[in-house]
Amino acid sequence: MWPEPEPIPVAGGFFPVHRPYISGDTDTSGRTPEGWLLDHSYARLPDVLFHRQAPVPVKAPHLVVFNKPLAADLGLYPEGLDGEAGANYFSGNRLPPGALPIAQAYAGHQFGGFTMLGDGRAILLGEQITPDGRRVDIQLKGAGQTPFSRRGDGRAALGPMLREYLVSEAMQALGIPTTRSLAVVTTGEPVIRESVLAGAILTRVAASHIRVGTFEYLAARRDTASLRILTEYTIQRHYPGLTTEESSRIPAFLEAVCDRQMELVVRWMLVGFVHGVMNTDNVALSGETIDYGPCAFMDHYDPGTVFSSIDTGGRYAYGRQASITHWNLTRLAEALIPLLHADEKEAVRMAEEILGTLPGKFQTLWSNGLRAKLGLTTREDGDEELIGQFLALMQEHGADWTLAFRSLAEKGLPGVPAYLVPGWQAWQTRWTDRLERQPESTETLRQGMRQRNPAVIPRNHHVERVLDAATNGDTAPFLSLLDAVGRPFQPLPEDSVWMAAPEAPDPHYRTFCGT
Q: What is the predicted pLDDT for the residue at 429?
A: 96
Residue 291 lies in a domain: yes
Q: Do 95 and 160 fall within a single domain? A: yes
- Single out the residue of 116, 123, 114 nearest to residue 146, CA to CA: 123
Helix (H, G, I), strand (E, B) or coil at 105: coil
Residue 58 lies in a domain: yes
The catalytic position among 137, 281, 299, 400 is 281
Last residue of a domain, one of 367, 390, 411: 367
Domain count, the chain: 2
Q: Do 201 and 232 fall within a single domain? A: no
Element (H, E) at 204: strand 196-206
Phi, psi of 474 (to 5 degrees): -110, 100
Q: Do 237 and 97 fall within a single domain? A: no
Q: What is the predicted pLDDT for the residue at 193?
A: 87
Residue 473 lies in a domain: no
Q: 10 Å Cβ neighbour count for 451?
A: 11
Q: What is the predicted pLDDT for the residue at 418?
A: 82
Residue 256 lies in a domain: yes
pLDDT tens digits for the chain (515 residues)?
222 323 333 333 323 333 333 333 445 568 999 999 999 999 999 999 999 999 999 999 999 999 999 999 999 999 989 989 999 999 999 999 999 999 999 999 999 999 999 999 999 999 999 999 999 999 999 999 999 998 889 999 999 999 999 999 999 999 999 999 999 999 999 999 889 999 999 999 999 999 999 999 999 999 999 999 999 999 999 999 998 887 899 999 999 999 999 999 999 999 999 999 999 999 999 999 999 989 999 999 999 999 988 888 999 999 999 999 999 999 999 999 999 999 999 999 999 999 999 999 999 999 999 999 999 999 999 999 999 999 999 999 999 999 999 999 998 998 888 888 899 999 999 999 999 999 999 999 999 999 999 999 999 999 999 999 999 999 999 999 999 999 999 988 877 899 988 887 777 777 877 65
Q: What is the predicted pLDDT for the residue at 350?
A: 97
Q: Do 117 and 198 fall within a single domain? A: yes
Residue 515 lies in a domain: no
- Single out the residue of 409, 170, 396, 399 nearest to residue 273, CA to CA: 170
Element (H, E) at 426: helix 422-436
Question: Is 433 tagged catalytic?
Answer: no
Q: What is the predicted pLDDT for the residue at 24?
A: 38
Number of separate helices (H) and strands (E) present in the chain = 16, 15
Domain residue limits at 155: 20-209
Residue 455 lies in a domain: no
Residue 35 lies in a domain: yes
Residue 384 lies in a domain: no
Q: Do 199 and 135 fall within a single domain? A: yes
Q: Do 165 and 38 fall within a single domain? A: yes
